[in-house]
Structure formats: structure tokens, C-alpha cells
Amino acid sequence: MALSIAVIAQLVTGASAADRTVVLAFGDSLTQGYGLSAEQGFVAQMQAWLQAQGVDIRLINGGVSGDTTAGGAARIAWSLSGEVDAVIVELGGNDMLQGLDPQQARANLAAILKEISARGLPVLLVGLPAPGNFGAEFQAGYRALYPALAGQYGALYYPDFLAGLGADQDRETALRQLMQSDGIHPNAAGVARIVEAMGPSVLELVEAARER
């Protein structure tokens, strides 16, 4: 049975309240906070949410706007400084938008997870919904790679970064109310919804970091 937010937060804060956990949020423009002020972006809002749960944490913004999985694979090694205790990985959206081969994206993400695993760091792999405009096989390839990689590397898994915006039938409303004008990036209110939905999974990541 999944632990409640309150129970997880109690475990995290009770284990070692004096030690601040440092989490690298490693991703693309969704992580970086494209089109938003620093205070409105994913990293700042997630850190505020976690601190409201009583967790002493610092999130490092490792998001690069426009980055692909190949770009992430090229920079992951030097992004993992000695102070990092855990990593959130959110990449693949730009690969999908550019119609890049899902098998190559899978190889790049595997390289990222392998590097993190070699450091003994817990990781939360965050998936993204694949568009259908490149065909069913393309869509199925991206849909399958995230859970497969999470299982292979023992990562925590959050299936859809945008899940907090609502179920598929609500996405049209979400595009009007919770997204920026490009229809790709969430606005500040959308980020708040995303953070609230994903927050419990990040709490689990912090707990895993504290147990190392």
C-alpha cells in the first residue's frame, strides 16, 4: 500500500532533520521553467511544496530549454556534483516533438540512468505522453520505454509529468487555463497543479536518499 504524504514526510524529516537533502532536477524546458519567472517555475514551486511538508531540501535547477535525451546524456556526468543526493530525470519531450527514434531516446536515457546508478544515487524517472502524429508505432515506442527503464535501473517512476493537469478528457480545458500560449509549457497555475500531483513521488525520492 502506498504511504500517505504525511507518513512519508514524517519519515523524511524524522530520519535526519539536520541534514539538507540536495536533489538535482535534470530535464528540459519543463524542468527549467520556460516562460516563467524563477519563483513560478517547477523547481521553485516543488521546493516550496516540499518545504511546506517540513522537508529540509534544496532543488538544483538542471533544466535546459530545448534539450533532448542526447543532450542530457552528454551533460549528466558533470551535472552530478558531490553534493547531489538524488536526481529527478525528465527528458524526452523534445525527442518526441522532433520525431526522433524512440530506441535512440531509450539508449540515451539508459546512459543517463547508468551514470546516476554508478554514483549510487536514487532517481525518479518522469515520463511524458507521446504525440500520435508520428504514428502508432512511434507512440508505443515512447510509451513503453519509461517504465522499462525504471524497472531495469530500479528507479522510482512517475508516468506523466503533465498528469496534474487532469485526465485526457480535461486536457482541452487545461490548455486554455493551465498552459502558456504555445500549448506546450504550463503556466504558473499549471505548474502548481503538476507539483501537487508529483510531490508525493518526490517525497519518496527524498526518503530513499535519506536511507542511503
Domains along the sequence of the chain with CATH = 5-210 (3.40.50.1110)
Whether 117 is catalytic: no
Other CB atoms within a 10 A radius of the CB of residue 130 amount to 22
- Predicted local confidence at residue 15, as pLDDT: 46
CA dist 10 and 104 (Å) reads 40
Cα–Cα separations (whole angstroms), residue 55 to 11, 88, 180, 184: 10, 16, 30, 31
- Predicted local confidence at residue 1, as pLDDT: 40
In the chain, which stretches have pLDDT less than 70? 1-18, 167-175
Q: Which of 28, 29, 67, 85 is catalytic?
A: 29
Whether 65 is catalytic: no
